[in-house]
Chains A and B, each alone.
Chain A
Amino acid sequence: MSFMQSPQSFENSRDRAASTKRVQIVMNRFGDTRHEFDVTDAQAVALAEERFRQLTGSGFRAAALSSDGGPGKLLNKFDREVEQTLFVPHLQGG
Chain B
Amino acid sequence: MPVLRDILGALRNSAPRGYRSMTPERRGVALLLANLTPRQRRQYVRDRYFDVIGGASATRYRLWHCFQQNVEELDQDGRRRWIWCFHPRETLVVGDVLLAQKTALELFEPEAIRVAHCYSNFSANAGPTSRIAREDFARTVPAPWRRRLAQALHSSYQVIKPSRAKFYRIASICIIAATFSCLLARVIAIH
Contacts and interface: CB of A to CB of B under 8 A. Distances in A.
On whether the two chains bind one another, the answer is yes
Interface in B13-67: 22-28, 31, 34-38, 40-41, 55
Contacts, number: 99
Interface stretch (B81-89, B128-136, B144-152, B179-187): B81-89
A27 B89 contact: no
Interface stretch (B72-80, B110-118, B159-167, B169-177): B110-118
A69 B37 contact: yes
A92 interface: yes
B48 to A, nearest CB: 18
Interface of B: 1, 22-28, 31, 34-38, 40-41, 55, 68-69, 85-93, 95-96, 99-100, 103-104, 106-108, 111-112, 115-117
8 contacts: A31-B25, A31-B95, A65-B35, A69-B40, A72-B107, A89-B100, A91-B86, A91-B111
Interface of A: 3, 25, 27-32, 59, 61, 63, 65, 68-74, 86, 88-94
